Amino acid sequence: MGKMGQDRDVDKMNPRNLIPYINNFQNTTVAIIGDIIADHYIWGKVERISPEAPVPIVDVNKENFMLGGAGNVANNILSLGGSIIIGGVAGNDEMGGWIINTLRTQGVDTTGIAVEDGRPTTRKTRVIAHSQHVVRFDRESRGEISGQSQEIILGFIKNHLKSIKVLVISDYAKGVITRNLLKSVLDMAIENNILVVVDPKLKHFDYYRGAAIITPNTLEASAASGINIYDNETLCRAGENLLNQSGSTAILITRGEHGMSLFERGGRVTHIPAVAREVYDVTGAGDTVVSTLALSLAAGAKFDEASILANYAAAIVVGIVGTGTVNREQILAVLTGAEK
């Protein structure tokens, strides 16, 4: 397999050695640029089928809103004890106001969120019955944000360059991540020795060249590399291909129940086995991975150490129905072998 044969055994790494990074989360600030989404949940139960069509009737008993997309990345970092600055776009509507107010109540500076007239705030509504996802419907515009909105985001990040070590690109292909904006951001980051962590969307893969680490899932990695991943050999070929294609320092392929695989320059590969006990909902798991990864890197962890911490965090969040966050006490409990 060439250089990519240098696999490492993470089983020999002591998880307790990662605790100092978690303790340093409170001293770090991570910047986030991306699509901020309002996640709307409608909860209920199904006891009958509609006489009008063969569909379930959901008797609604509650509903709630949570920050999703880049907003969920922000929530996870805050929950883990870190600080954030965030750039994105909201519509001049009720949901946009809710997003901005929710972030402000958490002490977040929202001047990097451009309010764009005529553009709806991205909103995903999920109907959940008996802990099962029944249907989802979206309200959104996927067109590129305006040049003025891009300038607001870019100017906000420029003003905070001295206070950040890591910047997350949370790309949901809802219009915030444009080629021009990302080129300017990556140029600034490289010039200021800031690590850029990307949670990617396949259609924008060529935008990310020069990012420090990109975190595709298996399907995204297969499509972006042109290699169908079905065993260890094809996985390693895809990882090597993506490293060369992206110019990144590392590629972290998230593989669901198979864990994660980290590919670094120089040929080092680290396969990280999954630690999930029971999976209820993968919604937001990618956000949790990129949040924990970025915060760990900002706290001084190496790529492999940060990836292992992200793997533990993902194992916790998939056990939660709905967009979930992880806190530092939960990760500490898993690392020390305790259960909370």
DSSP string, 54-88: SSEEEEEEEEEEEEEEHHHHHHHHHHTT-EEEEEE
Q: pLDDT at residue 253 above 80?
A: yes
Report the Cα 209 to chain-centroid distance in Å: 18
Closest CA to 317 of 330, 305, 306, 307: 330
- How much is the average pLDDT of 285-303? 94
Determine contact, residues 142/174, Cβ cutoff 8 Å.
yes
Q: What is the pTM of this model?
A: 0.91
Q: What is the pLDDT of residues 44-70, one digit of tens each?
A: 999 999 999 999 999 999 999 999 999
Asked whether residue 324 carries a pLDDT value surpassing 90, the answer given is: no
| Rounded Cα–Cα distance for residues 60 and 42 (Å) | 7
Question: Higher-confidence residue: 275 or 161?
Answer: 161
How is residue 278 annotated by DSSP? -
pLDDT score at 98: 98
Q: Are 300 and 22 in contact (CB under 8 A)?
A: no
Residues 171, 199, 287, 304: which is the catalytic one? 287
Separation CA 39–CA 211 (nearest Å): 28
Residue 125 scores a pLDDT above 80:
yes
Catalytic site includes residue 59: no
pLDDT band at 126 (very low <50, low <70, confident <90, very high): very high
Tokens 């079905």, located at residue: 230
Question: What is the pLDDT confidence band of residue 315, given thresholds at 50, 70 and 90?
Answer: confident
Given a cut of 60, whether residue 23 has pLDDT beyond it is yes
Give the separation between CA 35 and CA 175, rounded to whole angstroms.
Answer: 7
The SS3 call for residue 297 is helix
**Run of H or E residues at 181:** helix 179-191
Whether residue 297 contacts residue 306, with contact meaning beta carbons closer than 8 Å, is answered with: yes
Integer distance in angstroms from the first to the last C-alpha of the chain?
42
CATH of domain 2-335: 3.40.1190.20
Q: Looking at residue 10, what is its pLDDT?
A: 64
State residue 322's pLDDT score.
54
Half-sphere exposure of 69 (CA within 13 A, CB side): 29
Mean pLDDT of 88-93: 98
- Which has the minimum average pLDDT: 4-18, 71-85, 231-245? 4-18
Total count of residues recorded for the chain = 340
Given pLDDT bands bounded at 50, 70 and 90, which one contains residue 339?
A: very low
Residue 218 has pLDDT above 50, yes or no: yes
Could you tell me if 89 and 142 are in contact, meaning their C-beta atoms sit under 8 angstroms apart?
A: no
Q: Is the pLDDT of residue 318 over 90?
A: no
Report the chain's mean pLDDT, rounded to a whole number.
91
pLDDT at 282: 54
For residue 340, pLDDT over 50 is answered with no
Is pLDDT of 281 > 70? no
> What is the rounded distance in angstroms from the CA atom of residue 131 to the CA atom of residue 145?
35
**Overall average pLDDT of the 195-212 stretch:** 95
Give the domain ranges of the chain. Answer: 2-335
Mean pLDDT of 270-286: 69
Q: What is the pLDDT of residue 60?
A: 96
d(CA 177, CA 182): 6
